[in-house]
C-alpha cells in the first residue's frame, strides 16, 4: 500500500463497539452521534418490504420520521472483522418482535451498509415513499 494512502481497517472489537453504538444512538434518538457512525453513501435495505434507502440523509430522515414509540434492545451481537450481526428485540408501542441486523463497516470506520431482516414479509407502511426505492 502506498505511504500516502491512509487505510484504517477495523478489528472485531472496534466493529462490535460501532454496532453497539449504532443501536444505542438509534434508541436514544441521538441523531448527531448517529450521523458520525454513518458513511455519506450508506445503503440501508429491508428485504421483507423490498425497500432500499441510499445515503446518510435519507437514512436519518427515515428514522426521525418513523412513527410510534419504538425501542431497540440488543439480544446478541456477533462481530468479525468489519462485519457485525445483531439480534434485536424491537418494540413499537406494546408490540414486540425480533429483528436481525447486518452491518458492514468501511475502511474509514463508518457504517456503509445496513440490512434489516424481519420475521415475515410485509407491505411497507405508507408515508415513506419519498425516501425509499422498491425492488
Render pLDDT for 72-95 as a digit per residue (tens, 0 to 9): 999 999 999 999 999 999 988 778
In a domain, 66, yes or no: yes
List residues bridging with 97 in a β-sheet.
90
Sign of the C-alpha dihedral, residues 27, 31, 36, 40? positive
Give mean pLDDT, residues 34-61.
96
Q: What pLDDT score does 1 carry?
A: 41
- Structural domain tally of the chain? 1
d(C-alpha 113, C-alpha 49), whole Å:
17
CATH number of the domain bearing residue 72: 3.10.450.50
Q: What pLDDT score does 10 carry?
A: 56
Which helix (H) or strand (E) segment is 17 a member of? helix 12-28
Q: pLDDT for 3-35, tens place per residue?
A: 444 455 558 999 999 999 999 999 999 999 999
CB 21 within 8 A of CB 15: no
d(C-alpha 131, C-alpha 60), whole Å:
10
Amino acid at each position: 500500500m502506498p505511504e500516502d494512502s491512509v487505510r484504517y481497517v477495523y478489528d472485531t472489537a472496534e466493529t462490535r463497539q460501532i454496532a453497539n453504538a449504532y443501536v444505542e444512538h438509534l434508541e436514544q434518538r441521538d441523531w448527531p452521534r448517529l450521523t458520525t457512525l454513518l458513511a455519506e453513501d450508506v445503503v440501508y435495505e429491508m428485504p421483507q418490504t423490498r425497500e432500499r434507502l441510499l445515503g446518510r440523509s435519507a437514512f436519518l430522515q427515515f428514522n426521525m420520521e418513523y412513527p410510534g414509540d419504538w425501542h431497540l434492545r440488543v439480544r446478541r451481537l456477533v462481530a468479525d472483522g468489519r462485519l457485525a450481526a445483531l439480534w434485536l428485540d424491537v418494540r413499537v408501542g406494546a408490540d414486540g418482535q425480533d429483528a436481525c441486523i447486518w452491518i458492514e463497516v468501511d475502511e474509514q470506520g463508518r457504517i456503509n451498509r445496513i440490512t434489516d431482516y424481519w420475521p415475515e414479509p410485509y407491505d411497507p407502511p405508507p408515508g415513506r415513499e419519498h425516501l425509499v426505492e422498491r425492488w
